[in-house]
Amino acid sequence: MSEATAPRPAIRLPAFLRRLDPAVLTAFGCIVLLLLLGSLYSRSFLSPEYLLQQLKVASFLGVIATGMMLVILLGQIDLSVPWVVTTGAMMACAAAGHGVFGLWISIPFGILCGVAIGFVNGLGVAYLRIPSMIITLATNAVAQGLMVVYTGGFSPQDEASRAMRYIATGSAIPSVPNAVLVWALIGAIAVWLLARTTFGRAIYAIGNRERAAYLSGINTRRVTLLAFALSGGLSAFGGVLLAGYASKAAQSMGDAYLLPSIAAVVLGGTHILGGSGSYLGTIAGVILITLLQSILSVMQITEAGRQLIYGAVIILMLLLYGREKAA
């Protein structure tokens, strides 16, 4: 056999790259591309200060997307994110205005309000068998109505506590924002839950086929209820962080986080119909969405244009993954 006809040895990727989901590799590749494109608009785009600022902004979305990922892995969806975020922020700020005791309980109280809404969502999906899209839209509307009644339709007057501002904007470690550390801690817990616990394995099993998971002995209702409660708590905590970042809560402050949180999860390779996905992919998706938002802002794309882009991304992922799951 001549050298010209001899088969060429196949190029072998490193072991850790072969284990990664192609969607995750694609997301990280897009991050690099966005960084290069951003540097063409501004030289400061690649500066450490700007990148740290983007990472801090990404941490708010990252906390919310963590809860969204848990629900999507089940094959469900949580559309109550906008007003759960707002409720968590408003209630934390409201508690902070009630003396020393209120300051101590402000953050836990805000998170607990989100857990309560998520608990209602979980009850509806797991026990009443209401489609998640319907029940979460309903609770989102109820939360909106309650907050409008509470504020009288005006902007909330309560301010964020010092602890909320410190967690969102301070730096316990020099040059490292506290919000990034909070996201890293939540991410580490999420990875441990999904990879090392029975609860995490049950989430993947339910997402793949709920009936088979039930027949194998998994308490599918309890797992679904807990996942929605965690999603509500994480969304509310994201609102607490946002209130600390802005020093106060605002009406509809969570509206901008629904589509980006879904898009970040599916861009990172989590199957939109449940059953597969990694938290590393969600991290990549969150950073990708944040950089995309930054570039769109530089290009002066309106909020309506950004929502169109997020919606197109989700439709594209449904076309790519949805038919594969159905097959």
| pLDDT in 10s for each residue of the chain, 327 residues | 444 555 555 445 555 455 667 778 888 888 888 888 888 877 777 888 888 889 999 999 999 999 999 999 999 999 999 999 999 999 999 998 888 887 899 999 999 999 999 999 999 999 999 999 999 999 999 999 999 998 887 777 788 889 999 999 988 888 889 999 999 999 999 999 999 999 999 999 999 999 999 999 999 999 999 999 999 999 999 999 999 999 888 888 999 899 889 989 988 888 888 888 899 999 999 998 898 888 877 777 787 887 787 778 767 766 765 545 444
> Is 158 part of any domain?
yes
* Sign of the CA dihedral running 135, 137, 140, 144: negative
How many domains are contained in the chain?
Answer: 1
pTM: 0.89
Q: What pLDDT, on the 0 to 100 scale, is given for residue 24?
A: 81
Structural domain for 221, as ranges? 48-295+304-313
In 3D, which of 78, 126, 114, 115 has the Cα closest to residue 222?
A: 126
Question: Which H or E run contains 209?
Answer: none
H helical segments located in the chain: 15-19, 22-41, 48-73, 81-96, 99-126, 132-151, 162-169, 178-196, 198-208, 210-215, 220-246, 258-267, 279-298, 303-317, 323-326
Per-residue b or e along 20-56, where b marks 16 or more CB atoms closer than 10 Å to that residue's CB: bbebbebbbebbeebbeebeeeeeebeeeeeeeebbb
- Please name the residues in contact with 15: beta carbons below 8 A apart, sequence gap of 6 or more: none
- Residue 146 in domain: yes
* Cα separation of the two ends of the chain: 44
Residue 218 lies in a domain: yes
pLDDT for 159: 87
CATH number at residue 72: 1.10.3470
State the Cα–Cα distance between residues 218 and 195, nearest whole angstrom: 17
**Strand partners for 173:** 176
User: Does residue 17 belong to any structural domain of this protein?
Assistant: no
* Residue 323 forms part of a structural domain: no
Asked whether the beta carbons of 106 and 164 are under 8 A apart, the reply is yes
Residue 290 domain-assigned?
A: yes
| 159 phi, psi to nearest 5 deg | -110, 160
Token code pair at residue 188: 């580490």
Q: Is residue 42 part of a domain?
A: no
HSE-CB of 301 using CA atoms within 13 angstroms: 14
The reply to whether 285 falls in a domain is yes
What phi and psi, each to the nearest 5 degrees, are found at residue 154? Answer: -105, 170
Distance CA 169, CA 171 (A): 7
